[in-house]
Structure 1
Amino acid sequence: MAGRFSAPRRFLGNLRLNSESLLRAAGVPAIDVCGIRMDTKDGADMSGGYHCWAQFCVPGCGWATADPADVRKAMLTENIELKDAGKWIDFFWLGADGSRVILERGARGVAFAPAQAAGELNYFMYPYAEVDGKALNYLSAKEFSYKVTYNTK
């Protein structure tokens, strides 16, 4: 399964950036949001649930979610065409997906206190750690391992 989505994952990130760019070009305020999807089971491993999506401002209503990447992922997973993706479009565009935890919203150049030796992060979505002033590669299982879980109790 991972191999099947390796190329589309890179593409899915571009969908978010493209949607933000199009919204901004149309004069609609838009920001990127990074976070993690929670599982519905207590104690479930959510370490693979990191995700970025866009939000845009709806006058008189506030910020709304726009996640074309999750629409596309659902289409790939369920092998459906765009004309049959209405329920996913409705859910991931303006839908209330209560299973997401926002870790960062509209930030670039993230600095911690005390300041990290490696300099500002482009974005803060994955755990970050340094050893002896050197940042660990959070994408390398050999260098950095972690598990994200939650409990409702």
Structure 2
Amino acid sequence: MKTRREILMTGALLSAASALPRKAFAVSPRAAPLAAPWRRFEVVTRLEIAAPAGRSQAWIPLAGFQASEWTRPENDTWITNGASATLVDDPRYGAKMLHVIWDDGTGSPSVEVTSRFSARDRATDLAAPNAQPISAAEKSLYLSETSYIPTTGAAKALSDKITAGADGEIAKVRAIYEWMVENTFRRAATRGCGEGDVAAMLKANDFGGKCADLNGLFVSLVRAAGIPARDIYGVRVAPSKLGYKSLGANTANITKSQHCRSEVYFSDLGWVAMDPADVRKVMLEETPEGLPLNDEKVIAARKMLFGAWEGNWLAYNTAHDLALPGSQGPAIGFLMYPQVETAAGRLDCLSPETVRYSITASEI
């Protein structure tokens, strides 16, 4: 039997999705968020170092983020010719990774990691208070600045300008969300998911990029307004059931399907799903010619992604400024791709000539 909260959350996502054109909306009652059974997925990451030099290391992000209502990591297994393979949890954010070390002289260093997890759609009825307190430490963590996510200076000035006259948490976040949709853009030429360097974006007054950039900017502006927010870094694992080609992984090969989403913490509601970057993705990629803001599918996505998202996605972690254990290189802005380091230094994780990896997903 569904609880009252499950019914409220189900209604929220179905209401948002009902604005989709009928021909594009194909969710059966059984697929209703939280009313449907959990979906289980298996994700396999295969990595090979093309040009090993001396002692080599790799760090593979794992299904480590857990939220009992919508995502549950299960287990990780691996096969490698490395000298050691260690599960590591980052002490600050809890980011989970596999750290593999290969000795000098290892031929064709490689590792294959299999992760299983369960997920389901989520949605929050913003008119139904359901307080879920978080600790002072967690609140402080997701209000703090990072090297890429400023909360003072230009970020604070822009946040104050956007939220001027807005009364209350939801109104302020709504103002920032709508500003993001109307004033940012998805830049197709951006490598990967972008660098997420919001400080540089603000300095250049350049509000284009991909999900790490745009949702990073959103998080920065919300934190600057005094409201906890965070990016969750992950990868899409299945097609969208809401009729959006651009909001899902449409093949079993998800090597280039990384995506970060955002959450905002409301004192009366707990953590709530947000994704303004995906609204801009719909506008740029849903059709070859692109879609305007007033297109039906854009309007529906814009409504839905303020408070809801589909469970076709694996959540890795929320980490920023992450020091990779055992690394001789600098901290990384976020962990969403496998990272590799040899005696020659940190390799470019987006360069297939040096770091060969593939990621596949299947529903089980």
TM-score, normalization by structure 1: 0.80
Q: Tell whether the 8 Å contact from 1:56 to 1:66 is kept in structure 2 after alignment.
A: yes
Q: Give the equivalent residue in structure 1 for 2:353.
A: 142
Q: 1:82 aligns with which of 293, 317, 320?
A: 293
Structure-2 separation of matches of 1:82 and 1:68? 13
- Rg comparison, structure with higher value: 2
**Structure 1 gap segments, 5+ residues each:** none
Q: Give the equivalent residue in structure 1 for 2:257.
A: 49
Stretches of 4+ moved more than 6 A in 1? none
AA aligned to 1:134 is: G
Q: Give the equivalent residue in structure 2 for 1:101.
A: 314
Structure-1 separation of matches of 2:301 and 2:322? 32
Structure-2 separation of matches of 1:42 and 1:50? 13
Seen in structure 2, the aligned counterparts of structure 1 residues 31 and 74 have a Cα distance that, compared at 3 Å, is same
Q: Give the equivalent residue in structure 2 for 1:30.
A: 229
Q: Give the equivalent residue in structure 2 for 1:119.
A: 330
Seen in structure 2, the aligned counterparts of structure 1 residues 86 and 144 have a Cα distance that, compared at 3 Å, is same
SS in 2 for 1:111: coil
SS in 2 for 1:63: strand
The structure with the largest strand share of the pair is 2
Seen in structure 2, the aligned counterparts of structure 1 residues 59 and 128 have a Cα distance that, compared at 3 Å, is same
State yes or no: 1:6 paired with 2:189. Answer: yes
Structure-2 separation of matches of 1:46 and 1:152? 13
Could you tell which deviates more after superposition, 71-80 or 32-41?
32-41
Q: Tell whether the 8 Å contact from 1:44 to 1:149 is kept in structure 2 after alignment.
A: yes
Q: Tell whether the 8 Å contact from 1:43 to 1:151 is kept in structure 2 after alignment.
A: no
AA aligned to 2:299 is: G
SS in 2 for 1:101: strand
Q: Give the equivalent residue in structure 2 for 1:132.
A: 343
SS in 2 for 1:122: coil
Q: Tell whether the 8 Å contact from 1:12 to 1:69 is kept in structure 2 after alignment.
A: no
**Cα deviation, residue 43, structure 1:** 7.6
Q: Tell whether the 8 Å contact from 2:263 to 2:272 is kept in structure 1 after alignment.
A: yes
CA deviation map 1:4-48 (0-9, x unaligned): 821597523442233223222332211122111113489811011
Q: Give the equivalent residue in structure 2 for 1:21.
A: 220
Structure-2 separation of matches of 1:31 and 1:62? 13
SS in 2 for 1:147: strand
Count of matched residue pairs: 148
**Structure 2 gap segments, 5+ residues each:** 1-186, 195-207, 240-248
Identity %: 28
Structure-2 separation of matches of 1:31 and 1:134? 30
Q: Give the equivalent residue in structure 1 for 2:281.
A: 73
Structure-2 separation of matches of 1:15 and 1:42? 23
Structure-1 separation of matches of 2:310 and 2:266? 17
Q: Tell whether the 8 Å contact from 1:35 to 1:100 is kept in structure 2 after alignment.
A: yes
Q: CA RMSD in A?
A: 2.6
Q: Tell whether the 8 Å contact from 1:12 to 1:72 is kept in structure 2 after alignment.
A: no
SS in 2 for 1:6: coil
TM-score, normalization by structure 2: 0.37
AA aligned to 1:50 is: Q
AA aligned to 2:221 is: L
Q: Tell whether the 8 Å contact from 2:279 to 2:302 is kept in structure 1 after alignment.
A: yes
